[in-house]
Amino acid sequence: MTKRYLVTGCAGFIASKVSEFLLLSRHSVVGVDNLDDAYDPRLKQWRLAQLQAMPGFCFRQLDVADAKQLRNMFDQDARTAPETAPAPYDAVIHLAARAGVRASVERPDVYYHTNCDGTLAVLEMCRRFGIAKFLLASTSSLYGPHNPVPYREDADTDRPQSPYAASKKAAETLAYTYHYLHGLDVSVLRYFTVYGPAGRPDMSVFRFVRHIAEDKPLVLFGDGSQQRDFTHVDDIARGTIAALRPLGYEIVNLGAGRPVAISTLITRLGELLGRKPRIDARPAHRADVSKTWADVAKAKKLLDWEPEVSFDKGLPHAIDWYRNHRELAKAIELGDR
């Protein structure tokens, strides 16, 4: 059955892939994004153009933290929804966020505004318009070094190490409050280090691919022994869509479940690109965690989901996209992450 979904942050890395998969399944998607400059908007525009070429997609440029604009949009879509539809959307997939650990230390106010005020505004619209399902993107950054690995969803997340993690913790608790008070069905997904084609330019895979491909020194914070649970964006998108089923209120990890050292990532990219990486070593950042590693047993049980794209199969996808869109990719500003 064809459904209508609202996807916030639709020009973002994960949200654009989720929107693409929904559209390929012949659902309709109302995509919202403010196209801000958290990172180079040219990459967001490229992703958006891919979606706008697909049938069933409608784009609205607005800031989800602007409650008035958001209300106007919900009003408009409620008027155009089928008479038999109980709400303007079958579900709200809230992926709009300000992401990034290091940058949040410099601008915590911006992170709070988008990730807390924005989430509250979207939740309030779900309450007012009778939306049955709300999905929230959260982060593995909530897990700290005091927790054993692999990280389980019931681990202690009350000691966030960055304003970004703290803002996502606040968003999770807001979502629970709306579930408890108003019966909203909520899925909270904690994503682990997502990579793939057209990935975020402030993340390691995009940055390292470009630096190695263009024979430029890559900046490495720390000694390279830190580990990340690199998860392909296709797997993340599949898991996100699987989490649209009724769950009550659940927090679920989505990760590959196989951490990889940053030094291994650099070596493997060098091999695939046929170049020796040049490294500009910098001290580790205090807000960074030493390891992310997802326990995905709950995702397998609740969502019938498990990762399918291995690290060795997924890295060439990111490289191929860079090569196929080199002029754009070379020009993108990488940010200071």
Catalytic residue numbers, as ranges = 164
Q: How far is 115 from 76, CA to CA, in rounded Å?
A: 24
Closest CA to 225 of 261, 249, 252: 261
Q: Which 8-state DSSP code applies to residue 303?
A: H
Question: Using alpha carbons only, what angle is made at residue 314 by residues 17 and 269, rounded to the nearest 5 degrees?
Answer: 125
Question: Using alpha carbons only, what angle is made at residue 259 by residues 255 and 264, rounded to the nearest 5 degrees?
Answer: 135
Burial 278-297 (b: 16+ CB within 10 A, else e): eeeeeeeeebebebbbbbbe
- Alpha carbon distances (Å) from 324 to 19, 98, 216, 317, 328: 22, 28, 19, 11, 9
* Helix or strand (DSSP H, E) at 104: helix 101-106
Find where tokens 């990172």 sit: 39
Find where tokens 């008027």 sit: 79
